[in-house]
């Protein structure tokens, strides 16, 4: 019982910081997406391909969470992000709002309309931590088990978007895509689903179109769209 109330207290404290982050980013017209998946589903690759495609259309910032290494933020920067920063959690298996607040003080927000937070590869606890995001995207891939929505329902219940990656490998794996979609929609009927291959580029146009629309929903963001000269 004591353990439960301590956990609730920690999550409540996290919620306060998350709200502080939203109140800092929303007036600046910055829309934030918390990207979650198991390790290896392709979060970083999805962000790389997205940044390349939206070059000149949207200023994109990325806060990259990993247990160790700056490899992902390096890749994101090379892809052309307006700014990227790496958080190393040194063992912690999820990001918390105070980590995002600290990272935001080191990021140049002036050219950013859309901020991605790449969470630690883990389908369990990241779903319990509000990072001050406007929306949540869960990435799954055809090389993992097609039982992910059934096994990790909280992740799919609290996400607004599901991206199914590695579509090009579908003919070579025993992955029942219809079952995944059906399970995910049973858990969360409002889930928006994109099927993509970061390798071939299939489906990325629709995903990027949605991102632009999502970012432009906020009038403030529209002003920040980098004009092509």
Q: Which is nearer to Mg ion, 43 or 216 (CB)?
A: 43
Query: Interface with Zn ion by CB under 5 A: which range of 6-14, 88-96, 179-187, 212-220?
Result: 88-96
CB 53 within 8 A of CB 137: no
- Between CA 157 and CA 185 the distance in angstroms is 9
Question: Could you say whether residue 93 binds Zn ion (CB under 5 A)?
Answer: yes
Looking at residues 59 to 98 of the shown chain, list those that interact with Mg ion (rule: CB under 5 A): 72
Question: Could you say whether residue 22 binds Zn ion (CB under 5 A)?
Answer: no
Q: Which is nearer to Zn ion, 70 or 89 (CB)?
A: 89
Question: Could you say whether residue 50 binds Mg ion (CB under 5 A)?
Answer: no
Question: Could you say whether residue 125 binds Zn ion (CB under 5 A)?
Answer: yes
Question: Could you say whether residue 38 binds Mg ion (CB under 5 A)?
Answer: no
157 contact, one of Mg ion, Zn ion, none, CB 5-8 Å limit per kind? none
Q: What is the DSSP string of 128-163?
A: G---S-SEEEEEEETTS-TTHHHH-HHHHHS-SEEE
* DSSP reduced 3-state for 33: strand
Q: What is the DSSP string of 174-204?
A: ---HHHHHHHHHHH-TT-EEEE--TTT-TTH
Question: How many residues of this chain bind Mg ion (CB under 5 A)?
Answer: 3
- Between CA 229 and CA 226 the distance in angstroms is 9
Which residues are at the interface with Mg ion (CB under 5 A)? Answer: 43-44, 72
């Amino acid at each position: 019982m004591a353990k439960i109330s301590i956990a609730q207290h920690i999550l409540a404290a996290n919620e306060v910081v998350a709200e502080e982050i939203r109140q800092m980013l929303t007036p600046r017209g910055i829309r934030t997406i918390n990207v979650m998946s198991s390790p290896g589903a392709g979060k970083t690759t999805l962000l790389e391909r997205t940044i390349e495609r939206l070059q000149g259309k949207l200023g994109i910032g990325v806060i990259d969470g990993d247990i160790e290494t700056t490899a992902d933020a390096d890749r994101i920067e090379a892809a052309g992000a307006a700014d990227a920063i790496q958080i190393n959690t040194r063992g912690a298996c999820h990001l918390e709002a105070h980590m995002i607040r600290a990272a935001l003080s080191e990021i140049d927000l002036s050219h950013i309309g859309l901020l991605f937070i790449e969470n630690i590869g883990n389908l369990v606890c990241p779903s319990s931590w509000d990072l001050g995001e406007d929306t949540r995207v869960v990435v799954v891939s055809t090389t993992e088990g097609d039982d992910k929505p059934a096994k990790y329902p909280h992740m799919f219940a609290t996400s607004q978007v599901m991206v199914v990656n590695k579509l090009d490998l579908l003919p070579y794996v025993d992955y029942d895509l219809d079952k995944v979609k059906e399970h995910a929609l049973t858990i969360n009927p409002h889930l928006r689903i994109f099927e993509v291959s970061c390798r071939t580029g299939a489906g990325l146009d629709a995903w990027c179109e949605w991102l632009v629309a999502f970012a432009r929903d906020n009038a403030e963001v529209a002003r920040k769209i980098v004009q092509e000269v």
